Amino acid sequence: MKRIALEGKVLGENDRIAAELRQAFLEHGILCLNFISSPGSGKTSLLERTLEGFAAGARVALLTGDIQTDNDARRLARFGFPVRQITTAGACHLDARMVERHLREWDLAKLDLLLIENVGNLVCPTSYDLGEAAKIVVLSVTEGEDKPLKYPGIFRKAELMILNKTDLLPYVPFDVQTARENARGINPRIEILELSCQTGAGLDGWRRWLQGRMETARQRVPA
């Protein structure tokens, strides 16, 4: 019981900071997205392909979380946009405090899009609001179509499921239709995009989704 009360307190404090972050993003017209997936589902590859689609000078920045190593930050920095690594030193998720601390040195007035790559974990990051406009769950077709049923929390909270690695469909036992039905069974409103970061198939649809959401964020800035 004590543990649950304490967990509640930790989450309450997290929600307070996340609400402040969300307000700051709103005021600056920044679209903030929180990418959550299993390790190895292709979050970093998706972000690489996403950055490729922006012209130099686009007002995009990234925070990338990992327990150890700054591999992802180095991969992502090649594209010339601001990137900061959040090394959690053991923690299995990002929290709002970590995001707030790593944003301090950046001028939010210079950003339109903030992409946050969470720690590879389909469970724990789900509970921690980072002030994002939307959570995006990335599922790769190698993981099995039952994952929405087995890890319902993130599929319930995500606005978008990206079904990644569709180039491997010929080689793995994965039924796309069943995966879609499983996700929609958990969250009838979830949007679903299929793509392959290896071949580039489906990336256009993803970029359109992103541009649409960025436009919405711009329009919502208080006068």
Q: Which is nearer to a copy of itself, 55 or 89 (CB)?
A: 89
CB of 11 to a copy of itself, least distance (A): 12
Residue number, 4 or 55, with CB nearest to a copy of itself = 4
Which residue lies nearer to a copy of itself by CB, 106 or 198? Answer: 198
**Least separation in angstroms between CB 3 and a copy of itself:** 6
Closest CB 107 distance from a copy of itself, rounded Å: 30
- Identity of the residue, 39 or 212, whose beta carbon is nearer to a copy of itself in the bound complex: 39
Report, in Å, the least distance between residue 27 CB and a copy of itself.
32
Q: How far is the CB of 38 from a copy of itself (least distance, A)?
A: 5
Taking the least distance from each CB to a copy of itself, the nearer of 34 and 85 is: 85
Alpha carbons 132 and 126: distance in angstroms, whole number: 12
- Name the site residues for a copy of itself (rule: CB under 8 A): 2-3, 6, 10, 38-40, 66-69, 71, 90, 92, 119-124, 140, 142-144, 146-147, 149-153, 165, 167-168, 171-173, 198
